C-alpha cells in the first residue's frame, strides 16, 4: 500500500515538474523577443530589411543588391533562431533532472505530509499559471486594441487630410482594410499557443512600426507626385502657364501665346533643371523656379507667335532674334494671316518660311545701312532656304532710308551661296507712287561662290519702281537676276522657273544672267513682260557661258519698246539656248527700227580676245509671233551680229500676218562661218527668210 502510494506520488510530482518546465519554456520563447537585446536587434534588422524591400516596391526601384542583402539577413536570422532554440532546450533539460531527483528522495521520507502538500501546491500552481495566462492574454488583447486604435486614428487623420483627393481616398480606404485584416491576423498570432506564431506576430509588429514611420509617408508623397505629373494641364496663354505652380515631370499645353487661337499653341514638359539655355522659345523659366521645355518635332515648323511675333506690328528685330534661336533645331517657321511690317533688314538663315495669307510690308519709316531688305545672313555660308505662301510688298517713299543716296541700288531680297532655294506661291511687288528715283531690284542671286538648285514656281516678281518717273530716263533695276564677278564666272546650276509672272517697268532686264557659268536652266510656262519705258533687253544671257538653257511655252509680252526681247552675247565659251513653244506678243506702237526695236532674239560678239572654236547655237522650235498694233516694227526675228561660229535654227514657226519685219526673218551682220537652218514655210508666207549684211561664209539650209 505504501509502495503504491509512493509510486503514485512520484508520478504526480514528475508530471508537475514536466508541466512546470513546459510552461516556463513557453513563457521564455514568448517573452524572449522583449528581453533579449540580441534577438530584438536581429528581428529589427530583419524588419528593417523587409521594410527596405517594401519601400523599394513602393518607389518601383527594387535594387538587386538590397534584395540580396534582405535574403541573406533572413537566412542568418532563421539559422540564429534555430540555434538559440536548441541551446534553450538543452539548458532546460539539464535543469529539470536534479530537481526531479531531489523531490523523489523527499517523497520517500514524508509520504503523507508531502502528498497533502503536493495536492495543495499543484492546485495552487495551476491556478497561478491559469491566472498568468489570462493576464497575458488580456495584456495582448489590450495591446492589439491600442494598436488598432492607433491605426484607426492614423487612418482617420489620413482620410481627413486627403478628403479632397478622390483617388487618394480610395487608396487610403484599401490600405485601412488591409491594416484591419493585418491587425486581426496579428491578434490571432499573439493569442496562439504556438511560440513560433507569437514570434512571427512580434516580427510583424516591428515591421508595421517601421512602415508607419517611413514608407507610408513616402508612398503617399510619391502617389501624389504621380497624380500631379501624369495629367496634362491646359492654359489659355503662355503667361498663365508660367505663373502656374507646375511640378517637375508634369506636361502642360497652351491654347495660344496671348489668347486661344493666336497661333501660339504649344506643349511643354516641366523639369527642375534647364534642359537647354533659356531662350524664350525652347526653354522657359517658370515663376516657381522650374522650367518649361517645348515639345517639338524637327520636321514640323514652329509658329512665330511663340515669340510674340504678331501681325500689324513692326517685327524685324523679333524675326531676326527668332530666326537665330530656332535655326538648326527645326526645319522652318510659320507666319500667320495678316500683315507684318518690316522696319529693318531681315537676315535669313537656312530655314523654310511658311505663310498663311501672310503679307510682309516694308514700313514707311524703314531705315538701314544695308544693301537688301531681306538678305541671307552672310556671304560665306551655304544656305538652304524655302519660302512658301507669303506676299512681299514694298511701296517706295521719301521717308525710307537706304544705303547711299536716292539713286543707289536696293534689293528687296538678295541671296548668296545657295545650295537649295525655293520660292513657291509667293508674290513680290515693288511700287513707286511717290516718284522717288530708287534703283530697285526684286530678287538678286549674287556672288561670291555658287548658286545651285534654285526653284521659283507659281510666283510673281513685279517691279513697278519705274512708275511715276519720266519714261525717257534709263532706269536701273530688274526682277530676277543671277550674277557673278568680272574676275571669275561663278557656277549657276539647276535653275527652274515655272509658271511665274515676271514684269518690269525699267530699262534693265527683267530676267538676267551675267558673269556666270550657267547650265541646266529651265523656264517653263508663265509670262515675261516689259512695260512703261524703253528696255535694253527683256531677257539677257551675257558675259558668261550658258549651256542647256531651255525656255518652254513661255509668253513674252512686249508692252513697251525693247531693243531685244532676248539677248545672248559676250560669250566666254560655247553656249546653247533653246526656245520651244514660246509666244511673243508685240503690243506697243512706238517701235523704231535701229533705234528701239532691233531684233526679238539677238546674238552678238564673243568676249574680246577670246577665240571660241566650238559653235554656239540658238534654237527656235514651234514658236509663235504676234503683233497687235499697226504701227512699228522690228528689223528681224533673229539677228546675229559681229560674231562667228554660230548656228541658228528656226523650225516650224508661226508668224502672224500682222507682224511687220523691216528686213527678214534672220539677219547676219558682220558675221563669218555661221549656219542658218530654216523652214520652207517662211518663204511661202511671203517673209524674206534671211538677209546677209557684210557677212561671209554663211551656210543656208532650207530643211524644215
- 333, 304 Cβ separation under 8 angstroms: yes
DSSP class per residue in 558-591: E-S-EEEEEEEEEESS--EEEEES-EEEE--S--
Contact 638, 648 (CB under 8 A): yes
Q: What pLDDT sits at residue 196?
A: 58
Bridge partners for 148 per DSSP: none
| Interval 540-568 mean pLDDT | 95
Q: Which of 235, 329, 236, 322 is nearest to 279 (CA)?
A: 322
Adjacent-strand bridge partners of 266: 254
Q: What average pLDDT does the segment 418-446 reach?
A: 92
- Which residue is it, cell 519714261? 471
149-158, 195-204, 371-380, 604-613: the lowest-pLDDT one? 149-158
Strand partners, 501: 460, 527
Give the model's pLDDT for residue 659: 92
DSSP per position, 263-318: S--EEEEEESS-SS---SSSEEE-TTS-EEEE---TTS-EEGGGGT--TTSB-HHH
Position with higher pLDDT, 88 vs 595 = 595
Residues whose CB falls within 8 Å of the CB of residue 173, separated by 6 or more in sequence, listed in order: 159
Q: How confident is the model at residue 27 (pLDDT cuts 50, 70, 90)?
A: low
pLDDT at 98 over 90: no
The per-residue pLDDT for range 343-379, each reduced to its tens digit, is 999 999 999 999 999 999 999 999 887 778 999 988 7
Residues in the chain: 704
H-run or E-run covering 450: strand 439-457
Which pLDDT score, from 0 to 100, does residue 528 have? 98
Please give the DSSP secondary-structure letter assigned to residue 467. T
Q: Specify whether the CB–CB gap between 363 and 314 falls below 8 A.
A: yes
pLDDT band at 426 (very low <50, low <70, confident <90, very high): very high
Is-contact 641 604, C-beta < 8 A? yes
Distance CA 348, CA 443 (A): 14
Grid cell listed for 329: 533645331
Q: What span, in angstroms and rounded, lies between the C-alpha atoms of 502 and 273?
A: 53
Sign of CA dihedral 160, 163, 165, 166: positive
Spatial contact of 596 and 563, defined as CB atoms under 8 Å apart: yes
Q: Looking at the predicted structure, is the pLDDT value of residue 311 above 70?
A: yes
Nearest CA among 619, 558, 563 for reference residue 583: 558
| Residue 188: predicted pLDDT | 54
**What mean pLDDT comes out for the span 387-398?**
95
Residue at grid coordinates 499645353: 253
Mean pLDDT lowest among 216-225, 390-399, 469-478, 537-546: 216-225
| DSSP per residue, 222-276 | HHHHHHHHHS-EEESSHHHHHHS-PPTT-EEEES-SSSTTSS--EEEEEESS-SS
* Banded pLDDT at 33 (limits 50, 70, 90): low
Grid coordinates belonging to 458: 507659281
Helix/strand/coil for 350:
coil
CB neighbour list of residue 517: distance below 8 Å, 6 or more residues apart: 489, 490, 491, 492, 544, 545, 572, 573
| 268-284 mean pLDDT | 93
* Beta-strand pair 291-294/266-271: antiparallel
Angle subtended at Cα 627 by Cα 656 and Cα 587, rounded to the nearest 5 degrees: 160
pLDDT higher than threshold 50 for residue 333: yes
Q: How far apart are CA 185 and CA 395, in angstroms?
A: 90
Per mean pLDDT, which range of 115-124, 191-200, 319-328, 641-650 is the poorest? 115-124
How would residue 107 be classed by pLDDT, with cut points 50, 70 and 90? very low
C-alpha 420/C-alpha 453 separation (Å) is 5
Q: What is the pLDDT of residue 470?
A: 75
Look up residue 89 and give its three cell numbers. Answer: 532546450
Closest CA to 555 of 565, 543, 567: 565
> Per-residue confidence at 404, pLDDT binned at 50, 70, 90?
low
Task: Tell me what the mean pLDDT of segment 103-108 comes to.
Answer: 41
Cell numbers placing 282: 525652347
> Percent of the chain having pLDDT more than 90?
51
Q: What are all long-range contacts of 261-267, with beta carbons under 8 Å and residues at least 24 apart?
A: 262/305, 262/310, 262/336, 263/303, 263/304, 263/305, 263/334, 263/336, 264/238, 264/303, 264/305, 264/306, 264/308, 265/303, 266/238, 266/294, 266/295, 266/296, 266/302, 266/306, 267/232, 267/294, 267/295
Query: How many contiguous H segments (helices) and E segments (strands) does the chain have?
Result: 10, 37
Q: What angle do CA 612, 615, 617 make, to 5 degrees?
A: 125
**Residue in this structure with the C-alpha cell 511687220, named with its chain if needed:** 660
Across 323-333, average pLDDT: 96
At residue 411 the predicted structure's pLDDT band, cuts being 50, 70 and 90, is very high
Contact 374, 410 (CB under 8 A): no
Range with the lowest mean pLDDT among 167-181, 194-208, 417-431, 475-489? 167-181
**596 vs 393 pLDDT, higher one:** 393
Least confident interval from 2-11, 270-279, 548-557, 580-589: 2-11
- Above pLDDT 70, what percent of the chain? 67
Q: Which residues have CB under 8 Å from 90's CB, separation 6+?
A: none
Helix (H, G, I), strand (E, B) or coil at 197: helix
Rounded distance between C-alpha atoms, residue 659 and residue 656, angstroms: 5
CB atoms within 10 A of CB 202: 21
Is residue 4's pLDDT more than 70?
Answer: no
pLDDT for 235 equals 96
The confidence score (pLDDT) of residue 136 equals 47
- Residue 476 pLDDT class (50, 70, 90 cuts): confident
Domains of the chain: which residue ranges? Answer: 2-226, 231-294, 299-501, 534-704
**What average pLDDT does the chain have?**
78
Question: CA 509, CA 482: separation in Å to the nearest integer?
Answer: 11
Could you tell me the pLDDT band of residue 273, with boundaries at 50, 70 and 90?
A: very high
Closest to 504 in 3D by CA, of 471, 532, 468: 532
Note the pLDDT of residue 37. 47
- Residues 253 and 235: beta-carbon distance below 8 Å: yes
Band of pLDDT at residue 13, cut at 50, 70 and 90: confident
- Residue 639, classified by CB atoms within 10 Å of its CB into exposed (0-12), middle (13-18) or buried (19+), is buried
Q: Is the pLDDT of residue 83 over 50?
A: no
Vertex 482, ends 477 and 486: CA angle to 5°?
Answer: 95
Name the pLDDT band for 17 (thresholds 50, 70, 90): confident
Looking at per-residue pLDDT, the higher value among 73 and 487 belongs to 487
Indicate the pLDDT class of residue 31, thresholds 50, 70 and 90. Answer: low
Give residues with Cβ within 8 angstroms of 104, minimum separation 6.
10, 13
Q: Give the pTM.
A: 0.68
Yes or no: say if 587 and 556 are a contact pair by the CB < 8 Å rule.
Answer: no
Sign of CA dihedral 204, 206, 209, 213: negative
* Helices of type H across 162-194: 166-190
* H-only helix segments in 527-677: none
Question: What letter does residue 703 receive in the DSSP assignment?
Answer: -
pLDDT of residue 292: 96
Cell readout for 239 is 503667361
Amino acid at each position: 500500500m505504501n509502495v503504491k502510494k509512493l509510486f503514485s506520488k512520484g508520478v504526480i510530482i514528475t508530471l508537475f515538474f514536466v508541466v512546470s518546465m513546459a510552461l516556463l519554456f513557453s513563457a521564455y520563447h514568448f517573452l524572449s523577443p522583449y528581453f533579449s537585446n540580441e534577438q530584438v536587434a536581429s528581428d529589427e534588422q530583419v524588419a528593417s530589411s523587409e521594410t527596405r524591400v517594401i519601400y523599394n516596391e513602393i518607389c518601383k526601384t527594387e535594387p538587386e543588391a538590397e534584395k540580396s542583402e534582405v535574403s541573406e539577413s533572413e537566412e542568418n536570422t532563421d539559422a540564429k533562431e534555430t540555434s538559440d532554440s536548441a541551446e534553450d532546450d538543452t539548458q532546460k533539460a539539464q535543469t529539470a533532472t536534479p530537481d526531479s531527483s531531489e523531490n523523489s528522495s523527499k517523497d520517500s521520507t514524508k509520504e503523507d505530509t508531502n502528498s497533502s502538500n503536493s495536492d495543495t501546491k499543484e492546485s495552487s500552481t495551476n491556478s497561478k499559471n491559469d491566472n498568468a495566462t489570462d493576464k497575458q492574454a488580456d495584456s495582448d488583447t489590450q495591446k492589439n486594441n491600442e494598436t488598432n486604435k492607433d491605426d484607426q486614428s492614423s487612418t482617420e487623420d489620413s482620410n481627413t487630410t486627403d478628403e479632397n483627393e478622390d483617388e487618394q481616398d480610395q487608396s487610403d480606404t484599401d490600405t485601412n482594410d488591409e491594416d484591419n485584416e493585418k491587425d486581426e491576423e496579428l491578434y490571432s498570432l499573439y493569442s496562439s499557443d504556438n511560440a513560433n506564431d507569437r514570434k512571427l506576430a512580434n516580427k510583424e509588429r516591428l515591421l508595421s512600426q517601421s512602415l508607419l514611420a517611413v514608407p507610408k509617408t513616402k508612398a503617399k508623397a510619391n502617389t501624389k507626385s504621380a497624380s500631379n505629373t501624369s495629367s496634362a494641364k491646359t492654359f489659355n496663354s503662355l503667361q498663365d502657364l508660367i505663373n502656374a505652380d507646375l511640378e517637375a515631370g508634369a506636361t502642360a499645353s497652351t491654347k495660344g501665346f496671348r489668347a486661344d487661337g493666336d497661333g501660339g499653341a504649344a506643349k511643354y514638359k516641366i523639369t527642375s533643371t534647364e534642359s537647354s539655355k533659356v531662350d524664350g522659345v525652347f526653354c522657359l523659366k517658370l515663376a516657381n523656379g522650374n522650367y518649361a521645355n517645348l515639345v517639338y518635332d524637327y520636321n514640323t515648323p514652329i509658329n512665330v507667335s511663340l515669340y510674340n511675333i504678331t501681325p500689324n506690328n513692326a517685327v524685324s528685330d523679333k524675326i531676326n532674334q527668332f530666326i537665330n534661336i530656332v535655326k538648326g533645331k527645326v526645319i522652318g517657321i510659320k507666319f500667320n494671316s495678316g500683315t507684318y511690317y518690316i522696319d529693318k533688314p531681315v537676315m535669313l538663315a537656312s530655314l523654310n518660311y511658311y505663310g498663311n495669307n501672310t503679307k510682309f510690308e516694308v514700313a514707311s519709316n524703314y531705315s538701314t545701312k544695308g544693301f537688301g531688305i531681306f538678305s541671307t545672313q552672310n556671304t560665306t555660308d551655304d544656305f538652304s532656304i524655302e519660302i512658301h505662301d507669303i506676299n512681299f510688298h514694298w511701296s517706295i517713299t521719301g521717308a525710307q532710308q537706304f544705303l547711299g543716296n536716292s539713286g543707289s541700288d536696293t534689293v528687296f531680297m538678295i541671296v548668296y551661296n545657295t545650295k537649295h532655294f525655293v520660292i513657291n506661291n509667293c508674290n513680290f511687288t515693288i511700287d513707286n507712287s511717290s516718284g522717288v528715283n530708287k534703283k530697285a531690284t526684286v530678287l538678286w542671286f549674287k556672288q561670291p561662290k555658287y548658286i545651285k538648285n534654285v526653284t521659283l514656281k507659281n510666283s510673281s516678281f513685279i517691279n513697278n519702281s519705274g512708275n511715276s518717273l519720266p519714261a525717257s530716263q534709263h532706269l536701273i533695276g530688274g526682277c530676277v537676276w543671277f550674277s557673278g564677278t568680272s574676275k571669275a564666272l561663278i557656277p549657276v546650276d539647276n535653275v527652274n522657273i515655272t509658271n511665274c509672272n515676271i514684269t518690269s517697268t525699267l530699262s534693265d532686264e527683267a530676267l538676267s544672267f551675267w558673269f556666270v557659268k550657267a547650265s541646266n536652266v529651265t523656264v517653263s510656262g508663265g509670262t515675261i513682260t516689259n512695260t512703261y519705258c524703253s528696255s535694253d533687253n527683256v531677257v539677257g544671257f551675257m558675259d558668261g557661258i550658258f549651256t542647256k538653257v531651255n525656255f518652254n511655252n513661255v509668253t513674252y509680252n512686249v508692252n513697251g519698246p525693247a531693243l531685244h526681247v532676248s539677248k545672248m552675247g559676250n560669250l566666254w565659251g560655247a553656249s546653247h539656248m533653246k526656245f520651244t513653244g514660246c509666244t511673243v506678243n508685240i503690243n506697243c506702237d512706238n517701235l523704231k527700227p535701229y533705234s528701239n526695236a532691233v531684233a526679238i532674239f539677238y546674238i552678238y560678239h564673243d568676249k574680246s580676245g577670246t577665240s571660241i572654236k566650238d559653235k554656239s547655237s540658238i534654237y527656235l522650235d514651234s514658236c509663235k509671233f504676234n503683233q497687235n498694233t499697226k504701227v512699228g516694227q522690228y528689223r528681224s526675228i533673229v539677228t546675229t551680229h559681229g560674231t562667228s561660229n554660230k548656228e541658228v535654227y528656226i523650225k516650224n514657226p508661226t508668224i502672224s500676218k500682222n507682224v511687220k519685219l523691216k528686213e527678214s526673218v534672220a539677219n547676219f551682220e558682220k558675221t563669218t562661218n555661221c549656219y542658218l537652218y530654216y523652214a520652207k514655210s517662211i518663204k511661202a508666207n511671203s517673209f524674206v527668210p534671211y538677209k546677209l549684211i557684210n557677212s561671209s561664209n554663211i551656210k543656208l539650209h532650207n530643211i524644215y
